[in-house]
Amino acid sequence: MQKTLRSGSFKKATAIFTTAAVAALMGTFGVSAPAHAASAVHVKVWAWYPNFKEVVAKYNATHTDIQIDWTNAGAGGDEYTKLKTCIKAKSGCPDVAMIEFQTLPTFSILNPFVDMGKYGASNADGRYAGWAWAQATSGKVVNAIPVDGGPMAMLYRKDLFAANNIKVPTTWAEYASAAAAIHKLDANQYIATYGNDPGWATGLMWQGGCLPYKYNGTAAKATVGINLNQASCKKVLSYWGDLVSQGLVDTKPFFSTDAGADFDTGKYWTWVAAGWTPGYLSGVLKTTTGKWAVAPTPQWTAGADAQGDWGGSSFTVMNQTKHPKEATSVAMNLYPPQKTIDAGSPWDIGLNSAFLYPLVTGVESNAAFVNHTYPVFADQQPNPIYIHASKKLGAFQWTPFQDFIYSTLHDETAQAIAKKEPWASVLDNVQTKAVAYAKKQGFKVTA
Amino acid sequence: MKRRQVIIGWLFVLPFVLVVFFFLVLPLIYAGYLSSQADSLVGGQHFVGLTNYIDTFKDPLFLEGLKRVAIYAAISIPIMISVSLTAALTIDVIQTRLARVFRLIAFMPYAVPGVVAALMWGFLYSQQFGPIYWVAKRLGYPNLDMFAPNVFIYSISGIAFWAWTGYNMIVLYSALQGISREIYEAAIVDGASQKQIAWRIKIPAIKGAIVLTVLFSLIGSMQLFTEPRILSRYTNAVTLGYTPNIYAFNLAFNQSQFNYSAAVSFALGLIVLVVSYGFLLRSRRMADK
Amino acid sequence: MSLKTPFKRASKGQKSLVVPSSKTANTLMIVGIGYFMMPLIWVMLASTKSKPDLFSTFSLWFGHSFKLFANLHSLFTQDGGLYLIWIKNTAIYSITSAIGATLISAMAGYSLARFKFKGVVFLESMVLGLIMVPATALVMPLYLMLSKVNVVNTPWAVILPSLLNPFAAFLIRVYVLESIPEELIQAARIDRAGEFRIFWQIVLPMLRPALVTVFLFSLVASWNNFFLPLVMLSDNHLYPVTVGLQAWFAQASQESGNSVLYNLVITGALVAVLPLITSFLFLQRYWRGGINAGAVK
C-alpha cells in the first residue's frame, strides 16, 4: 500500500464517509411512532399477512382508545423464531402475536400467553367454528382467538380436464387414474406436485381419518400421545408415495418461484389445498386466471364426506404485555365477524386480497360470503365448498413439539423422494424419532 | 516513568479489551455454561456436565451435517483454489489492460452480501427463467434441476465458487507480487520456462498464502449457513441438520433447545479448531520435507 | 504463522517476467469476466422488467418493456418507504461500527506495537480463534445477554458486537511497527507532548492508509452482515437491507398475493450492492492494501 496517497477520489471518499458518519451519529435511530392522542394505549401486533396493513389502518382510524403498532416479523417459522427468542429472553415480545393452530401447544408449553378468558374472551365460544375454538382453548383457558382457517378442497384446471375428456376425480382412486392419464398425454405434465409441506401432508392425512396426536396442556401437561404409524396415516402417505415413485406426481416444493410458474403453465393440473391457497394462486397466475375451479377433496370411499385442514392462524396475547385487556380487545376485534362485505372493511380486504377463510360461526347464512366470486374461479362461487369442509372438520389435536415433528416429517419425506428410503418407512421413522424426542424432553408417551 | 508507560499503554488497549470481554469472552463463557445444563420442555433446567457433548457426537443429525460439509469442502476447495492459483499466476505475468480488468471484476463478488448472492443465484438456477437451465436444455439435459436434493450441494458450491474465487485469486496474486526479483534472476538466466518458474519458484514461494486461503475456505465451508438457509424454500434438500450451523440455529431458535444448541455449536467450533490445526501442522510438515 | 512486511509495495523489476498475453489466456479471461459479471448483469436486466416479463422472458436480455423506473418507484414507496429506511439503517450501522472498530483497533494496535507489554500472542491467536467460532455459538448467548439489559431490538444490538475486530488491531499493530519510527515518538515525548496528543496528532495521521483499509473492511463486514441483525432485530423498521430483502423474499414466496415483491427484491438487491461496488472501484488500492496484509500472513 502506498503511504503517500493523496488522490482526489480518496479525499472525496473520505469526505463523503465523514459526512455520512456524522449525519448518521447525529440522526435518531429508528422511526418515531405516528403521533396519536396521548390517552390511546398502543398495542404491538406481530402478524404476517401483508394485507393486514390496511386492516390495521382501518382499525386505527376507527379507534381512539387503542392504537395498533403492526410489525410483519416474518411469515410462520420466521416469526416463531423471533417469538421463541423473546420468550426465552423474557423481553422483547409483542402484545399480540399471530400463531398458527398447529403451533399453539408448542408455544403454550412455554407459558407465554395471557389467558384471554380473564379479559373478556370467555364468552366468545359461540362466535367461532367448533374445531377452531377447541384448538384455541384448553379447558376454560383461552389461549388464542381464531382468525382464519384452511379447510381443504381441490383446485383444478377446469379447461384442461374438459378439453382432454378426463373426469374430475371425486375419489382418490379416480385421482390416481387421472394422474396416469394426464402424464400419458404429456410427459411434462402432472396432476400435481408433492410439495413436501408437512402441514399439507398432515391435512391430507387428517382427511384420511388419521388423528395421530393426543395432548391436553391443562389436564396432563407431561403426557402426550403420538401414533403416526397407524394404518389410516400410512394409507395416505403410501398413496402419494406410489404416485411419486411412478413418476405421476412431481416433487417440486410448494411456493418456490418455479412451482408457482408451473401452476400457470399447465404443468400441474390440480392442487388439493387450503381455503387460503387461492390467494397465493391469484398472485402467481398470469395467463390462467379464470380457468381454475374448486371441487371437494377426493374421498377415500366413494360417497363419503371426510375433510381436512391445512393451516390457519390465530391471535394470541403474550404475557409480557402491560395491557392485557386492550391486547385481548385487539385480538378479538381486529378481524371481527361481519354481516356484509363493505368496501374497505376487514372482510373485503381479507377475502378479496388475502383469501382468508373466516372461522366465525354463521358464515353459511352470510349471503355476501356465500355468493362471493373471485377472478381466479371466473363465475364459480367456491365458498359453499369451503364452508361445508370447515363444518365437517372434527376435533384434531397437536403435540407440544409440533415443529420437531414437522421438520422430521419433511426430512424423512425428502429422503423418500430422493429414493434413499422407502415411502413405507417414512411414518415409522417419524414415529420413532418423535417418541425418542418426547421422552428426552421429559414426556410420558402414550399411543 | 516506566510504570506510567504501562498504565498509558493499557489505557489505549482498554476499549479493545472491553469490547473483547463483553462481546467475545463473556458470551462464550455463558454459552459454555448453557451447554453444561439440560433444559427439557417438562422438567426444568439442571446441570448435566458433558452429557450434551456426548449426545452431540452420537447425534445422527449432527454427524450427517458434518459429513456433508466435509464432502462439500473436499470437493469445492481444491477446485476453487487451483482455479484461483492458475488465474493469479496468469495475471502475474500478463499485465495487459484486459488482465487488470479481469482482476477487478473477479474480485467484485466480494462486495456483494452473501444474502444477495444467494438470492441472485436462486433466480439464476431457476428452471423457469434461469440461463443455466436454458443452456442445459439446449445441450440435451432438460431434466437438470439445480434444487434436486442430490444436486443442491453442488449448486451451493457454485455460489461459493463465484463469491470467493476472485478474492482468493487476489490474495495469491498479492503474494506473488511480493516475491523479490532476485529469486527469479538465476532461473531466467538459466533459461527456465514460465511453467518451470511457476512450479519450482513461485508456488513454493507463496506457500504460506496458499495455506492461508485453503484454511479460510475450510473454516468457511464447515460453517456453511446463509446460502442453504436462504434457498431452503426452493428445495427439499435442506433438512433440520443440513449443516452443523443450520442444526445449531434450528435447535436454539426453532426448538428452544438453547442448551443443546450451545453444545452443538461448541462441538462444531472444536472440530473446526482441530481440523484447522491439523491442516496447518500437516502443511508445515510437508514444507519441512 | 507470523506476519511480515504486509504493507510493503511489490518490489520493482517484475518487468523482466512479464510475457505477452496468449490467445488462450485472453479467451479465458474474457470468459472469466463474463462469468463473474453474469449475476450482476442479470440483476441489472431483471430490474428493468415487469413482473410478467421477469418470469417469461429470457433472463439475460431485456423484457418487452422497460420498467426500471417503475420498479425503483415501487421499491422506494412499498410499505411506506421501508426500503429507504433499511438502506439508512444499513448505512448507520455499518458506518458507526466501522468508525468505532477502526478507532478502537487503532488505539489497541498502536499500544501493542509501541508500549512493551504482553498480549501480542493472545491477540494473534484471537484473530484466528475468532473466525473459528461458529456464529451461533456467539450470537445466541449474546442475544440472551443483551436482552437482559434491554438492548435487543435496538440499533446498539447490531453496532456494539460489530466493534469487535481483532484482525484490524492486528493489521494496525504491524503497520505501526513498520512505518512509524520509534525515534519520532521519543522525540515528541522529549518535547513533553502528552501521550494522547502524540497519538492523535502524530500517529493517527501517519496511520491513515492503514486506517482507510481497516475502515473499508469493517464497513463491508457489517454492511454484509446477516446473521447478527437477523437474530437481534424484530422490528422491521430497524432491519438492515440484508435482513429486509430476505424478509421480502420470504414474503414473496409465501404470500405472492397481488404484490410485485419479486421485482422489489431484485431491484432492491441491485440498489443494495451498488454503493459497495462503486466504492470498491474507486478505492481499489485500499482494498488491495488490506488483502496484501492478509496474504503475507
For B206-222, the pLDDT digits (tens) are 998 999 899 989 999 99
Grid coordinates 456436565 are at which residue? B49
Q: Which region, left, alpha or beta, applies to residue A144 given φ > 0 means left and ψ of -120 to 50 means alpha?
A: beta
The single-letter DSSP state of residue A296 is P
Contacts C136 to B, Cβ<8 Å: 245, 248-249, 252, 261, 265
Q: Find out whether B66 and B248 touch, Cβ atoms under 8 Å.
A: no
Contacts A401 to B, Cβ<8 Å: 41, 255
Answer whether B276 touches C (CB < 8 Å).
yes
Kind plus residue range of the DSSP H or E element containing C147: helix C135-148
- SS3 labels along C19-77: CCCCHHHHHHHHHHHHHHHHHHHHHHHHCCCCHHHHHHCCCCCCCCCCCHHHHHHHHHH
Phi, psi of C255 (to 5 degrees): -125, 50
Q: How far apart are CA C221 and CA C170, in angstroms?
A: 16
The single-letter DSSP state of residue B21 is I
Q: Which residue of A has its CA nearest to B55?
A: A440
Chain mean pLDDT for chain C: 83
Short-list A263, A377, A356, CA closest to A311: A356
Here the cell at position A51 is 394485507
- Residue B68 pLDDT class (50, 70, 90 cuts): very high
Answer whether C54 touches B (CB < 8 Å).
yes
Contacts B236 to A, Cβ<8 Å: 196, 251, 253, 410, 413-414, 417-418
Q: Find out whether B168 and B157 touch, Cβ atoms under 8 Å.
A: no
Here the cell at position B34 is 448453557
- Contact: A21, C255; criterion CB under 8 Å: no
Short-list B128, A36, A419, A331, CA closest to C52: B128
Answer whether B80 touches C (CB < 8 Å).
no
**Contacting residues for B28 by C-beta, under 8 A, at least 6 apart:** C133, C137, C138, C141
B76-97 tens-digit pLDDT: 999 999 999 999 999 998 888 9
Contacts B235 to A, Cβ<8 Å: 253, 256
Answer whether A3 touches C (CB < 8 Å).
yes
Q: Which region, left, alpha or beta, applies to residue A247 given φ > 0 means left and ψ of -120 to 50 means alpha?
A: left
Q: How many helices (H) and strands (E) does chain A have?
A: 17, 14
Phi, psi of A317 (to 5 degrees): -110, 125
Q: Find out whether C44 and C61 touch, Cβ atoms under 8 Å.
A: no
Q: How far apart are CA A170 and CA B62, in angstroms?
A: 44
The single-letter DSSP state of residue C251 is H
Short-list A18, A54, A60, A16, CA closest to A37: A60
- Contact: C155, A29; criterion CB under 8 Å: yes
Q: What is the domain count for chain B?
A: 1
Given a contact as 3+ CB pairs under 8 Å, which chains touch B? A, C
Task: Give the three-state DSSP class for B161.
Answer: helix
| CATH class of segment(s) A152-309+395-446 | alpha beta
Contacts C96 to A, Cβ<8 Å: 21, 24-25
Q: Which residues pair with A360 in a beta bridge?
A: A128
Q: Find out whether C176 and C114 touch, Cβ atoms under 8 Å.
A: yes
Share of residues in chain B with pLDDT > 70 (%): 98
Segments forming the whole domain that contains residue B117? 52-288
* Calculated CA dihedral for residues B86, B88, B89, B91, nearest 10 degrees: 120
- Structure confidence at residue C137 (pLDDT): 84
C100-144 tens-digit pLDDT: 999 999 999 998 888 766 667 777 777 777 778 887 789 989 998
> In chain B, which among 158-217 make CB contacts under 8 A with chain C?
162, 166-167, 170-172, 174-175, 177-181, 184-185, 188, 194, 197, 208-209, 212, 216
Answer whether B20 touches C (CB < 8 Å).
yes
- Residue B6 pLDDT class (50, 70, 90 cuts): confident
- Contact: A401, B233; criterion CB under 8 Å: no
Q: Find out whether B168 and B111 touch, Cβ atoms under 8 Å.
A: no
Higher pLDDT, B289 or A154: A154
Answer whether A162 touches C (CB < 8 Å).
no
- Structure confidence at residue C260 (pLDDT): 65
- Structure confidence at residue C119 (pLDDT): 67
Q: How far apart are CA B249 and CA B271, in angstroms?
A: 17
Phi, psi of A374 (to 5 degrees): -135, 145
Given a contact as 3+ CB pairs under 8 Å, which chains touch A? B, C
Residue/partner pairs of A209-214 with CB below 8 Å, 24 or more apart: A209/A300, A209/A306, A210/A235, A210/A236, A211/A394, A211/A395, A211/A396, A211/A397, A213/A396, A213/A397, A213/A398, A213/A399, A214/A397, A214/A446
Strands A444-446 and A220-226 turn out to be: parallel
Q: Give Dmax (Cα) for chain A.
A: 87
Short-list A186, A192, A188, A157, CA closest to A172: A192
**What is the pTM (predicted TM-score) of this model?**
0.87
Here the cell at position A369 is 360470503
C199-242 tens-digit pLDDT: 999 899 999 888 988 898 889 889 999 999 998 998 889 999 99
Concatenate the DSSP letters of all residues of C175-194 into one string.
HHHHHS-HHHHHHHHHTT--
Sign of CA dihedral B11, B13, B17, B19: positive
* Mutation for B interface: A216, A218, A240, A257, most B CBs within 10 A: A257
- Residue B8 pLDDT class (50, 70, 90 cuts): confident
Sign of CA dihedral C150, A321, C136, C39: negative
Sign of CA dihedral A410, A412, A413, A418: positive
Q: How many CA atoms lie within 13 A of B180 on its CB side?
A: 4
Here the cell at position A434 is 418423535
The single-letter DSSP state of residue A446 is E
Concatenate the DSSP letters of all residues of B172-208 into one string.
HHHHHHTS-THHHHHHHHTT--HHHHIIIIIHHHTHH
Contacts C287 to B, Cβ<8 Å: 107
- Contact: C262, A82; criterion CB under 8 Å: no
Answer whether C7 touches B (CB < 8 Å).
no
- Residue C11 pLDDT class (50, 70, 90 cuts): very low
Q: Find out whether B155 and B124 touch, Cβ atoms under 8 Å.
A: no
Domain coordinates of chain C in residue numbers? 14-19+67-295
- Residue C290 pLDDT class (50, 70, 90 cuts): low
Q: Which residue of C has its CA nearest to A80?
A: C234
Q: Find out whether A405 and A323 touch, Cβ atoms under 8 Å.
A: no
In-domain check, residue B88? yes
Q: Find out whether A241 and A435 touch, Cβ atoms under 8 Å.
A: no
Q: Find out whether A272 and A204 touch, Cβ atoms under 8 Å.
A: yes
- Structure confidence at residue A74 (pLDDT): 81
Nearest to B90 among C25, C226, C294 (CB): C25
- Structure confidence at residue C288 (pLDDT): 67
Task: Give the highest mean pLDDT range of A1-10, B137-146, C18-27, C107-116.
Answer: B137-146
Chain B: give the shortest CA distance to residue C80, in Å: 22
End-to-end CA distance of chain A: 70
- Structure confidence at residue A26 (pLDDT): 35
Chain A: give the shortest CA distance to residue C5, in Å: 11
Q: Which residues pair with A295 in a beta bridge?
A: A154
Q: Find out whether A195 and A259 touch, Cβ atoms under 8 Å.
A: yes
Q: How far apart are CA A136 and CA A149, in angstroms?
A: 12
- Contact: B239, A110; criterion CB under 8 Å: no
Mark the ranges of chain A whose per-residue pLDDT is less than 50: 1-36
Q: Residue B223 is which amino acid?
A: Q
B201-257 tens-digit pLDDT: 899 999 989 998 999 899 999 999 999 999 988 888 999 999 999 999 999 888 888
- Contact: B212, C134; criterion CB under 8 Å: no
- Checking if the pLDDT of C259 tops 60, the result is no
The listed CATH number (1.20.120.1200, 3.30.1200.10, 1.10.260.40, 1.10.3720.10) that belongs to domain C14-19+67-295: 1.10.3720.10
Q: Find out whether A200 and A271 touch, Cβ atoms under 8 Å.
A: no
- Contact: C140, B130; criterion CB under 8 Å: no
Contacts B166 to C, Cβ<8 Å: 36
Quick one: B12 exposed, middle or buried, by C-beta within 10 A (0-12, 13-18, 19+)? buried
Contacts A84 to B, Cβ<8 Å: 253-254, 256
In-domain check, residue B5? no
Q: Under CATH, what is the fold of the domain A41-150+310-370?
A: D-Maltodextrin-Binding Protein; domain 2 (3.40.190)
Nearest to C253 among A2, A51, A256 (CB): A256
- Interface contacts A/C by beta carbons within 8 Å: 135
> In chain C, which among 13-52 make CB contacts under 8 A with chain B?
13-14, 16-22, 25-26, 28-30, 32-33, 35-40, 42-43, 46
Q: How many CB atoms lie within 10 A of CB C74?
A: 17
- Checking if the pLDDT of C295 tops 50, the result is no
Q: Find out whether A212 and A406 touch, Cβ atoms under 8 Å.
A: no
Burial C248-283 (b: 16+ CB within 10 A, else e): bbbbbbbbbbebbbbbbbbbbbbbbbebbeebbebb
Burial C95-116 (b: 16+ CB within 10 A, else e): bbbbbbbbbbbbbbbbbbbbbe
Here the cell at position A74 is 416474518
Q: How far apart are CA B245 and CA B228, in angstroms?
A: 11
Given a contact as 3+ CB pairs under 8 Å, which chains touch C? A, B
Strand ranges, E, within chain B = 37-40, 44-47
Domain coordinates of chain A in residue numbers? 41-150+310-370, 152-309+395-446
In-domain check, residue B26? no
- Contact: B105, C36; criterion CB under 8 Å: yes
- Structure confidence at residue C17 (pLDDT): 66
Task: Give the three-state DSSP class for A38.
Answer: coil
Task: Give the three-state DSSP class for A381.
Answer: coil
- Structure confidence at residue C14 (pLDDT): 45
Chain A: give the shortest CA distance to residue B56, in Å: 14
- DSSP percent split of chain A into helix, strand, coil, nearest 5: 45, 15, 40
Chain C: give the shortest CA distance to residue A408, in Å: 21
